[in-house]
Homo-oligomer: A and B are copies of this chain.
Amino acid sequence: MWPLSPSHTGLQRMDYQLDTLEHDNLGSTVYQLLCNDLLQGRLQPGARLKIRELAEQLGTSVTPVRDAILRLVQEQALAMQSPRDIRVPHMTVERYLEIRAIRIRLEGLAAETAANKAEPAAIARLEDIVQRNAVAMAAQDIALGCALNQQFHFALVDIAGLPFLHGILYRIWLQMGPLIAAVYQQGGSAMLDYHYPVLQAMRQRDGAAAALAIGDDILSGGQAILLHLQARQRAG
C-alpha cells in the first residue's frame, strides 16, 4: 500500500466529482479504497480488518480508517462479530434470496426506465460494455468480466437517470462483492449470456421486456452463486 498523502494533513483532492458534492475527506477516500477491495474480491469473506494495521498501511492515523470502517459496518458490508472483531461477513442463503428479490424489483425498475428513454448513445454504451465483456470472457479474464458485469448493471441505472437508486444498489452490490468474486474465481461464469436479451429489449424500447430480461439475468445468472451458498451452508 501507499501513503494517501505525502504532506502532513493535506487532503488528497480527487479529480472526479461525486454525485452529491461529496467532500472528500480522508475518511471518504479510505472508504472508496475499501469499497473497491470488497467489490473486486481483494477482501474475502471471513477476512479480518484491523484499524491500526490499515492506518499504518495507508499512512494515515486511525481516525479516517475508523470513519470508513464504521460506514461499512453500518451498511453491513462489514460486520462486527464481537466488539473488537471486524470481518467481511459470510452471506447466508436466506440473505441472498432476500437480496435477490430486492434486486429483481429495483434493477427491474432501472431497466424499465432506461429502456423507455433509451437514446442511441446509451444503447451504444451498453453494447460496448457487453462486447468488452465478451472479449474478457474469451480471454478468461474473470476479474475483468466481473467488473464489466457490474458496469453493465449500473449503466442501466445511470441511463435511467436514477441517482438515488444507484446509491441503494451500490450498497447492495457491496455486500455481494466478496461472494461474487469468491464464486467466480473458483468456477464457471455464464453471466454474460443473459445480458443480450436486455440489450435487445433496450433497442426496442420495451420497458417491460427489459425488466423481465434483467430479472432473468439475476435469477439464472446467479444460479451458480446460490448453489455455492447452499453447498457451503450444508458443509457448515
Number of interface residues of A (CB under 8 A): 30
- A168 at the B interface (CB under 8 A): yes
- A132 at the B interface (CB under 8 A): no
- A188 at the B interface (CB under 8 A): no
Q: Tell me the interface secondary structure of chain A in the complex.
A: helix
**What are the interface flags for A10-25 relative to B under an 8 Å C-beta threshold, 1 for contact and 0 otherwise?**
0000000000110100
A67 proximity list for chain B (CB < 8 A): 67, 70
B106 touching A23, Cβ below 8 Å: no
Q: Min CB distance, A215 to chain B, in Å?
A: 12
B-contacting 9-mer, from A45-53, A75-83, A201-209, A222-230:
A75-83
Name the one of B21, B105, B113, B167 contacting A106, with C-beta atoms under 8 angstroms.
B105
> What's the number of copies of this chain in the assembled complex?
2
**What are the interface flags for A131-165 relative to B under an 8 Å C-beta threshold, 1 for contact and 0 otherwise?**
00000000000000000000000000000001111
Q: Nearest residue in B to A165 (C-beta to C-beta)?
A: B102
A76 touching B162, Cβ below 8 Å: no
Chain A, range 89-135, C-beta contacts under 8 Å to B: 95, 98-99, 101-102, 105-106, 108-109, 113
A101 touching B105, Cβ below 8 Å: no
Q: Min CB distance, A207 to chain B, in Å?
A: 12
A102 proximity list for chain B (CB < 8 A): 106, 109, 164-165, 168
A residues at B contact (CB < 8 Å): 20-21, 23, 27, 67, 70-71, 74-76, 79-81, 83, 95, 98-99, 101-102, 105-106, 108-109, 113, 162-165, 167-168
In the assembled complex, 15 residue pairs joining A and B whose CB atoms fall closer than 8 Å, in A order, are: A20-B76, A21-B81, A67-B67, A67-B70, A70-B70, A71-B74, A75-B75, A98-B164, A99-B164, A102-B106, A102-B109, A102-B164, A102-B165, A105-B105, A106-B106
